[in-house]
Amino acid sequence: MKYLWLVPSIFLTHIFLGRFFSIPYTLALFNKWYLSVCIISSIDMITVPVYFRLFDRVITSRGFVVRERLLIRRIRRVIERIAKKKIFRRERKFHSRIMVRAQRWGQFGVLIVAALPFVGGGIWSGVLLARFLKLKIVKGHLLVCLGSILGASFVSLGIQGIKELILKFFV
């Protein structure tokens, strides 16, 4: 209870700067990797339903879909005028290969993507992949949260190990 006032600062650090900055910050405050994993994973578990809801809201809004289709049509017309060829027949094949790969990785892919602490990975990408694969929200939430725990554990243990190596060799 003594350090409860630090949780809002960790939450804000996690939301604005991401997992890659919030885990070292938490380790610097508490000096225990398991506390860092518990705090960061609980913050992710709180925000994952918000991300699912936000993503579903944006995608199902009619204005978004109409604007996206109009933009795609304009881009296609401009490219076809420049190239003067029908080049979008290949796009269907490419799109289907991406779908096949995503379906092949499936649920394990959602777990791995959610565990990545770098750009292109993380909770947002895990939610997007879960919705792209049309997983049920409960299953997607579970996979993204497991990925969050896994990723936070790896990063926390890695940073803790590096810190101990530095202390061992230089102190």
Per-residue confidence (pLDDT) for residue 62, from 0 to 100: 65
Assigned domain for 158 exists: yes
Q: Please give the C-alpha separations between residue 65 and each of 59, 70, 75, 78, 136, in angstroms, as whole numbers.
A: 7, 9, 15, 20, 22
Find the angle CA(88)-CA(92)-CA(97) to the nearest 5 degrees.
135
| 139 in any annotated domain | yes
Look at residue 67 in the predicted model and tell me its pLDDT. Answer: 67
- Torsion, CA 81, CA 86, CA 90, CA 96, rounded to 10: 90
Does residue 78 sit within a domain?
A: no
| pLDDT given for residue 142 in this prediction | 92
pTM: 0.71
Do the Cβ atoms of 51 and 127 come closer than 8 Å? yes
Per-residue pLDDT of the chain (171 residues; tens, 9 = 90+): 577 778 888 888 888 888 888 888 998 888 888 988 998 889 988 988 888 888 887 777 666 666 666 777 777 777 666 666 555 554 444 444 544 555 677 888 888 888 887 766 778 888 888 888 888 889 989 999 999 999 999 999 999 899 889 989 887
SS3 content of the chain, % helix, strand, coil (to 5): 85, 0, 15
Residue 49 belongs to a domain: yes
163 in Cβ contact with 27 (< 8 Å): yes
Domain housing 17: 4-61+105-170
Contacting residues for 118 by C-beta, under 8 A, at least 6 apart:
20
Q: Indicate whether 35 belongs to any domain.
A: yes
- Per the domain annotation, does 69 fall within a domain? no
What's the number of domains the chain is made of? 1
72 is a domain residue: no
State residue 66's pLDDT score: 66
